[in-house]
Amino acid sequence: MNQQPHKQHDRFGALSEACDLGNGPSRVVVKDCLDVAGMQTVQGSAVLHDAAPAPRNAAAVAGILSDPRWRIVGKARMHEFAFGVTGINPACGTPVNPGWPTRIPGGSSSGSAVAVAGGLADVAIGTDTGGSVRMPAACCGVIGFKPTYGLVDRTGASPAVSSLDCIGVFARDVAMVEAMMQAIAPGFVLQAEPSIQLGIVQVQAEEAVTAPVRKALDTLGVGVQVTLPSLQDAFVAGMTIIGRESWNALKAHVDHPAMGEDVRLRVRAGGAVTDAQLAEAEAVRLRFATEVDAALDRCDVLALPTLPVVPPLLADAGDAPALVPLTRLVRPFNLSGHPAISLPLRAGHGLPVSLQLVGRRGEDAQLCAAARNVVQRLEAAGLFAVASGLDREN
């Protein structure tokens, strides 16, 4: 295993460990909460620094290595235990946002987003329990895709049990997302680009976000206004469920001195979730999923900002739990299980802004085809602004 050629070009600190597996031309980085045989799965935590190497590949990794198009070049850094939105990790390293180095890379799949934005990888694998693919994609100016819940086999991923988590994909163009989905989701079949009607979701966000999103939507043309009355309730319910599920997964480590305090606080809060609160959250899940389905009966895809604000400065991100509301427009679709994709936009102020598209459950390929259509039209208008891939000389 030759680890040096890729690690030495990792100038943004995306990788926790380098490798060279497979013979394909396209480079892949895998988040370090998925098992790669012979490598540690540390999950961004000093708690697991002495973990034994994984005996076998996660199902998604096996799919990648069985496809001749791909070559895995490393495992990506991440927010500790995939339980944070900033990507800041004092113990195991915080990747640098290539386009905006003074701002957070986003979490929890920080290294995956950075690897693609910085050109170290053509595609990266992340996980998305409450926005953890779409948020760092939005922060770093790349595409991030969260599939329908259950579409991609999570065997060999941590946490082992989750009713919210999905294995997702980062890339700089939709075609690469689709190619990777063919490897990790058997049955994913490419679709022709459709003519689409957008359902424009009414949300609250800062003007620095709403102005470029509104400009993009005006360019895309015909759409209908839709409301999701339980959107905020779905965010809260998602927090309740991830809290209880993370407590179940991490309570054995909560008193370990090496656990980061931001994660420890959130894990302990999850331990305080009552059965009644959990039942209420599950009721919201059903109600919100029904609302999303009803909205999608009126249009082809929903459109809304990925983040309600521009990514905060690292200097302002010290209180990680206080920044969890940054995920209030992405987390609800983990609760409902719908597929969603984030697309980076060009904004006049030069900061990262992203448009999120949401599709019908089980129609992941159709959503990707719609995203191809949208990107083509935004590119023609000069409004699509994917990261440049600064390390393409590697």
Q: Where in the sequence numbering do the catalytic residues fall?
A: 31, 108, 132
31 close to 136: Cβ distance less than 8 angstroms: no
Nearest to 166 by CA among 183, 182, 144: 144
Would you tell me how many other CB atoms lie within 10 Å of the CB of residue 227?
13
Rounded Cα gap, residues 48 and 161, in angstroms? 19
- 308: Cα within 13 Å, side-chain hemisphere: 16
In the chain the first and final C-alpha atoms are separated, in Å, by 18
Rounded to whole angstroms, the Cα distance separating 167 from 60 reads 8
Identify residue 25 by its one-letter amino acid code. Answer: P
Q: For 14-25, give the DSSP string.
A: -EEEEEEES--S
Alpha helices in the chain (DSSP H): 4-7, 59-65, 110-117, 134-140, 174-184, 207-220, 231-250, 261-271, 275-296, 332-336, 364-380
d(CA 145, CA 139): 14
**3-class SS letters over 280-300:** HHHHHHHHHHHHHHHHHCCCC
Instruction: Specify whether the CB–CB gap between 169 and 144 falls below 8 A.
Output: yes
205 and 326 Cβ atoms separated by less than 8 Å: no
- Alpha-carbon span 197 to 244, nearest angstrom: 38
Alpha-carbon span 226 to 216, nearest angstrom? 17
**What is the spatial distance between Cα 89 and Cα 128, in angstroms, rounded to a whole number?**
18
- What's the CA gap between 260 and 316, in Å, rounded? 18
Please return the burial class of 259, using the count of CB atoms within 10 Å of its CB with bins 0-12, 13-18 and 19+: buried
